[in-house]
Amino acid sequence: MTAPDVRHALGSTLADADILTEIEDLIPYGFDGTATLKERPLAVVFPRSTKQVSAVVKWAREARVPVVSRGNGTGLSGGSVPVAGGLVLCLNHLDRIVELDRANLTIRAQAGVVTQDIFAAADAAGLFYPPDPGSMKISTIGGNVAENSGGLRGLKYGVTRDYVLGMEVVLADGSICRLGTACVKDVAGYSLRDLFIGSEGTLGIVTEVLLKLLPRPTARRTLLATFAAMDEAAATVSAIIAAGIVPCTLEFLDRRTIQCVEDFAHVGLPTDAEAVLLIEADGHPAAVDDEVAHIEKLCREHAATTVRVAADAAEATRLATARRSAFSALARLRPTTILEDVTVPRSELAAMIRDVEAIALKHDVQIATFGHFGDGNLHPTILTDERDTAEMHRVEAAITAIVEAALARGGTITGEHGVGLAKKPFLRRQLGDASYSLLQLVKRSFDPDGLLNPGKIFDLPA
């Protein structure tokens, strides 16, 4: 199979401009947001309707060409890297919001709609779509569903899964199928919809989603607390949770991250602090005031050096935007930035942070840490240079040690970025043999030829 063959075969299905085969077009589709993983696809295609998706998949099956779905390539586990070559099927032209239903509090959108646009459409109608991954201005809703993405508001509002009512998918044989319903309660049969959430493009292609919306909270306040030691920040988080307070956001940045973010965003973060917590409360105005006062008190009791409440919505937005840049801003320090994504039970946070520090010391690598502390989701980020082979060996050892430490503390190898390629080696260890085989069985029944995003999550036995 060559690129001209693809063009020839799909030429009657797709517009000419929607098939890319030039090498200058292929190189930029060889990677996603994950460092150091890249491979070149055979061609890139841009369907503009579910029908076109179906036709492309049908052809690919007959021609035995792998198909890798892609939203906007912000994934952080290598999910849309075309490791087996084949087609990259890019959904970002399926970008229509189909319907916002005020009576039922739902929004129906095509898979390629950018997450931020869903939020904005809901907001304009006085409603609220809570999941807000750091990448929300770029990532697509299809990508969010495929990765079951979390976000800054995960602590109180959960993750993408909690908002998906239904979806339209194209299966491996090209058939179009609807999963779930608009009903809030629905227990008819297995939840195939749930199977698709977090399936990373390996079971089928999501073309449309139906999402649940909430009423928009009437008040929102943001608070920034600084600490002289990481432990104290972690202890504060435990205290807040133990006090039964559920802020909507509880984010954490360590000293290196604070410095890089400040370098970029200039929002007045205290660059001499060891740790900061960015906390947001939302809901009814009186309740929010109460919560903020309580949180402020707990921060002070746990040795916060300063506590600052954002003066207005503009300052709060600036702080949240700065937080969203954390991962990318860390790239200022070293040429290669490798982001990890482990989650531990929240009571283990302080201990897990100490583990990470010890691992950095032991393997002599630079690690910065930030994360969604409220969910126990940490992003230890290794700052290195991929050209330094000796250092890269130490980096690999450190990554393994971090994942093992998380597992030892009852945690998971990935809290939100998915398994993709990056976490493949650890999956069986977390799941155990029986569940691991069950996953492979599910994959086989949906995609017997193994053509949908091959090589991701696990390898199938031949």
Partner 1 sequence: MSPTSATPSAPSPAVDHGPTRHLGAMDYSVLQQCMHCGMCLPTCPTYVETKKERHSPRGRIALMRAVADGELAVSKAFGEEMYYCLGCLACTTACPAGVDYPTLFEAARAEVEDAKVLDSPKRNAIRATVLRGLFTRPRLLRLVGRLLWIWQASGGQTLFRRLRLTRLLPPNLRRLEPQTPTIRARFSHQLIQPVESSANPKPLRRVAVLTGCVQDLAFSEINRATVDVLRANGCEVHTPPVQPCCGSLHGHNGDLATARDLARRQIDLIDPDRFDAIISNAGGCGSHLRNYDHLLAADDAYAAKAATWSRKLRDIHEYLVEINFRAPLAPPSPQTITYHESCHLCHGQKVSVQPRDILRAIPGVELRECGESSWCCGSAGIYNITQPKTSGWLQDRKLDLLTATGADIVATANPGCHLQIANGLQAQGDDHTTVEHPIVLLARAYAAEAND
Ligand X SMILES: Cc1cc2nc3c(=O)[nH]c(=O)nc-3n(C[C@H](O)[C@H](O)[C@H](O)COP(=O)(O)OP(=O)(O)OC[C@H]3O[C@@H](n4cnc5c(N)ncnc54)[C@H](O)[C@@H]3O)c2cc1C
Which residues are near partner 1 by CB under 8 A? 20, 22-25, 27-40, 46, 72-74, 78, 83-85, 92-93, 114, 135, 137-138, 260-261, 263-265, 325-329, 331-332, 335-338, 385-387, 392, 396, 399-400, 421-425, 455
253 φ/ψ sector (left φ>0, alpha ψ -120 to 50, else beta): beta
- Contact of residue 399 among partner 1, ligand X, none (CB under 5-8 Å per partner type): partner 1
Residue 172 beta carbon to partner 1: minimum distance, rounded to whole angstroms: 21
Q: How many angstroms separate the CA atoms of 411 and 414, rounded?
A: 9
Q: Report the residue number, 74 or 226, with the smaller CB distance to ligand X.
A: 74
Q: Report the residue number, 93 or 300, with the smaller CB distance to partner 1.
A: 93
Residues in a beta bridge with 341: none
- Contact of residue 71 among ligand X, partner 1, none (CB under 5-8 Å per partner type): ligand X
- Contact of residue 364 among partner 1, ligand X, none (CB under 5-8 Å per partner type): none
- Contact of residue 69 among partner 1, ligand X, none (CB under 5-8 Å per partner type): ligand X
Residues in contact with ligand X by the rule CB under 6 A:
32-33, 68-76, 79-80, 91, 111, 133-135, 139-140, 142-144, 146-147, 149-151, 200-201, 205-206, 327-328, 416-417, 453
Strands (E) across 373-438 are located at 377-384
Question: Which residues neighbour 94 within 8 Å (Cβ) at sequence distance 6 or greater?
Answer: 47, 48, 49, 50, 53, 110, 111, 112, 113, 142, 207, 208
Question: Which residues neighbour 290 within 8 Å (Cβ) at sequence distance 6 or greater?
Answer: none
- Contact of residue 316 among partner 1, ligand X, none (CB under 5-8 Å per partner type): none
> String of b and e for 367-402 (b: at least 16 CB within 10 Å)?
bbbbbbbbbbbbbbbbbbeeeeeebbebbeebbebb
Q: How many angstroms separate the CA atoms of 49 and 18, rounded?
A: 12
- Give the DSSP letter of residue 330: G
Residue 440 beta carbon to partner 1: minimum distance, rounded to whole angstroms: 16
Q: Report the residue number, 292 or 326, with the smaller CB distance to partner 1.
A: 326
**Is residue 448 packed enough to be buried (19+ CB in 10 Å), middle (13-18) or exposed (0-12)?**
exposed
Residue 34 beta carbon to partner 1: minimum distance, rounded to whole angstroms: 8
Q: Are 141 and 72 in contact (CB under 8 A)?
A: no
Q: Report the residue number, 159 or 288, with the smaller CB distance to ligand X.
A: 159
- Contact of residue 68 among partner 1, ligand X, none (CB under 5-8 Å per partner type): ligand X
- 3-class secondary-structure state, position 251: strand
Q: Report the residue number, 32 or 391, with the smaller CB distance to ligand X.
A: 32
